[in-house]
Chains A and B, each alone.
Chain A
Amino acid sequence: MSMATATRIPAFQLKAGLHPVNQLILQHQPLAEIEEELQRRLQQAPDLFHLAPVVLQLPDSADQIWVEGLLNLLRNAKMLPIGLRGKDNLQNIAEAVGLPLLKDSRKKSKQTTQSNIPKVITGTIRSGQQVVNVEGDLIILGAVSAGAEVLATGSIHIYGSLRGRALAGIQGNEQACVSCQSLEAELIAIAGHYRISEDIAPALAKKTCVTRLTEGNLIIQSV
């Protein structure tokens, strides 16, 4: 038996995929109005929806009759609805019309896509001062003095000398980077991986540099 299973070629393979699909975001309007709008768009661009897969973002108040009418209307226009999106209470409708109710990825997207609200500071950050952006990138139009510290959940860009400490990706974003016009740093860190000045090659001193995290290693490159 074990031999048999080991040598059998599987009938199919299952592979996760991510394909961009257009979404139709719908209000609970009379179907006639939707049809009118659809015709107007098709006249402007006849091929726009031809055999195009679409996901329908349904309003909370959608009911089964309205959804069935909507699907007919779209299929007549040669669109291929492949799924529904909306509140959990639309599950029954989804089953009735034979389409999956796709999970709202909003919760997940909070973890994967970092929102970035950059913070721009003009002037030198002096010894003893600390500047933090917990919402994204930090851009310093000036120098960061020895004894000063700049921190960001995103990347840090310093249009001046970095003589103090710069810590990017402080909530674990390993894509963050640190750039500066002249590298004289006391410490550079990305997502908790750090280098102190002693560990920075002397050849990089006072060079314009970018620091990135590559496979768990901080790589400092002059540009």
Chain B
Amino acid sequence: MAKIIVVTSGKGGVGKTTTSAAVATGLAVAGHKTAVLDFDVGLRNLDLIMGCERRVVYDFVNVINGEATLKQALIKDKRTDNLYILPASQTRDKDALSKEGVERVLNELSELFDFIICDSPAGIEHGAQMALYFADEAIVVTNPEVSSVRDSDRIIGILQSKSRKAERGEPVKEHLLLTRYNPSRVAQGEMLSVQDVEEILAIDLLGVIPESQSVLKASNQGVPVILDDESDAGMAYSDAVARLLGENRPHRFLEAQKKGFLKRVFGG
């Protein structure tokens, strides 16, 4: 039986797909059979970040509609063993995701994998609800700004009331992942601090991913940033995956980089 983890946020563009790709890759690297599913039907981009867009033949909706088998639609990752991608359709809309269809696909995947990562679309509508409905755990991706925190709060409320686990009276384990964190802007009071966000959302902190050039670079190359072990964002994602697997690691990259000696003397 696989553990189903939804990556969700409410607000758009906060880093869900970046996180889904990184976490799925990190779990696979750690030796766990992992599938990552793109629920963002109509706006395919998980496959781009995973660098497998040219190998997409069938997609999630084809499988739901019985137009392809799961085995036909799953794309095996080229770089990382144990990792498979189920891409979204670009030509359908999110209503194509029926609850029964999604359940059937997840049940079938559950037999084959240890982890199923569901990359949710933005918003709180049908697509987002389908992505989170069957989840055992949730990674709530949040940027350190008021509107993102507000939307995360909203999505946590939906997890706690409208997910299958909630309907059965069981808790969904929620993890807070603070992304695009910019310590110097926090210090200047332009962004919320880790403590502010933790206090408002009141769920466990899985990790803090710094705002980093390496993320854009990685996604342009179609390589999940977690594989860039030189980059701060890559290392922060590795820490987060280790914590997800139960390891206890201290949080890094929470403080602004100290300015170098010359910069302090000459400004800049």
Min Cβ gap A115→B in Å is 29
A158 to B36, CA, bound (A): 40
Interface check B160, CB cutoff 8 A? yes
Pick from A126, A146, A161: contact of B156, CB under 8 Å = A126
| Interchain CB contact under 8 A, B161 and A146 | no
Contacts of B124 in A (CB 8 A): 128
A127 to B153, CA, bound (A): 6
Min Cβ gap A14→B in Å is 59
Interface string of B197-237 (1 = CB under 8 A from A): 00110100000000000000000000000000000000000
| Interchain CB contact under 8 A, B157 and A163 | no
Interface check B154, CB cutoff 8 A? yes
Interface check B150, CB cutoff 8 A? yes
Indicate the member of A125, A145, A161, A163 with the most B CB atoms within 10 Å.
Answer: A145
Interface check A129, CB cutoff 8 A? yes
| Interchain CB contact under 8 A, B202 and A143 | yes
Pick from A124, A147, A148: contact of B202, CB under 8 Å = A124
Contacts A146-B150, A147-B150 hold; do A127 and B202 have CB atoms under 8 A apart? no
Contacts of B200 in A (CB 8 A): 143, 145-146, 163
Min Cβ gap A176→B in Å is 26
Interface band, chain B: 10 to 19
Interface string of B178-191 (1 = CB under 8 A from A): 00000000000000
Indicate the member of A128, A129, A142 with the most B CB atoms within 10 Å.
Answer: A128
A161 to B199, CA, bound (A): 10
| Interchain CB contact under 8 A, B202 and A128 | no
Contacts of A128 in B (CB 8 A): 124, 154, 157-158
| Interchain CB contact under 8 A, B161 and A129 | yes
Among residues of A, the one whose C-beta sits closest to the C-beta of B158 is A128
A142 to B154, CA, bound (A): 16
Min Cβ gap B201→A in Å is 8
Indicate the member of B160, B199, B202 with the most A CB atoms within 10 Å.
Answer: B202
Contacts of B156 in A (CB 8 A): 124, 126
Contacts of A123 in B (CB 8 A): 160
A146 to B196, CA, bound (A): 14
A146 to B197, CA, bound (A): 13
Among residues of A, the one whose C-beta sits closest to the C-beta of B202 is A124
The contact sample of 9 A-B pairs, CB cut-off 8 A, is A126-B156, A126-B160, A127-B151, A127-B154, A128-B157, A143-B202, A145-B200, A147-B150, A147-B154
Q: Which A residues are closer than 8 A to B by beta carbons?
A: 123-129, 142-143, 145-148, 161, 163
Q: Which B residues are closer than 8 A to A by beta carbons?
A: 124, 150-151, 153-154, 156-158, 160-161, 199-200, 202
